[in-house]
Structure 1
Amino acid sequence: MTGDDQRPTVDPGADSVDRVMASWARTRPDLDVTPIGIFTRLDRLKRAIDREMIFEQFGLNGADFAVLATLVRVAPDNGMSQRGLMAELDLSSGTVSLRVERLVRAGLVTRTADPDDGRGSIVALTSAGRDVFERCAPAHLDNERRLLTALTPEQQDQLAALLRHWLSVLETSSP
């Protein structure tokens, strides 16, 4: 690191995937493996970022935090249907059920019968769940900002725009 700059001084052109790409170029020069470079980097970035997450300090994992954050963002006072939670998180009902059950056991949310849907439930934050979120969210956001210091503000904007575009295309073309 240099001076007040928090970004490490590293060769921005070299990473572990470059070795994979070079190996492919030697082994199969006839194949265009450009997608492998992109998707392998995305996968390795995700795993590296996950290792840096701080949720365990608060007795959570990333999935738990996502549920709490969604409840705070969408339905902070009265909770929301488990079906709505499923839609907001873009997850299957089974996955959401497991996440909610884990949080119910931890005392961070409640699950009650939905009066408008005999087969559904309402998931709501408990005071303990709200407290954990209020302590975790600022630390989590500070940590994410720290991870982003590897990029300049302009690079962050460019990356956000590229990811937004790609996701928008995939979301509108998916069945």
Structure 2
Amino acid sequence: MRALVWAKVLETDPSASVRPPAESEAAHTRKAALSAATFKTLLALPQQQHPHDPGLAARDQLLLLLGGQLGLRAAELVGLDVDDLELTLGYLTVRGKGRKVRQVPLTARMVLALKRWLMLRAALNAVSPALLLSLSHGVAGGCGGVNYPVYITYGGLPWPRTRAGAMQPAGLGGHQGACTGSCC
């Protein structure tokens, strides 16, 4: 309407005094958390999806635990490095929005999941410092093997996308292979 007043189509803005209704609750209180049963079902997915690949199952379950139990954002998850772990003292260093760094305490369950993944990860002889790795073994046009960070989409975790809309791991420099999810 202001544009119509500016263009002199209208003399006054008839909607100038109209305000949208205020929400009685803050946005964070309107969002429902996953129920314990739903989270338990979600944690069972990696074993169901990869019954014959304990590496994939362990990595994917760890990803879900890090996001669901510790509340890490997707960008924080994929930005984790092995050096961010302090299992002896029971915390994880997380770099978040605005380059903020925080230390997140680890539960006993999380420490066990991390230790399991680290044992499996060590067997991969991975060069990347990233905690979570793709296990594609160099699928052509895929994520590029065990030296790239992982990007999966269990439970609605978002895939980073290129400007063209193709799914692609972020932060990998010149890596241009589009990942369909089947390679990870």
Question: If the length of structure 2 is used for normalisation, what is the TM-score?
Answer: 0.30
Q: Identify which of structures 1 and 2 has the higher relative contact order when contacts are C-alpha pairs closer than 8 Å and 6+ apart.
A: 1
Q: Which has the higher helix share?
A: 1
Larger Rg over CA atoms? 2
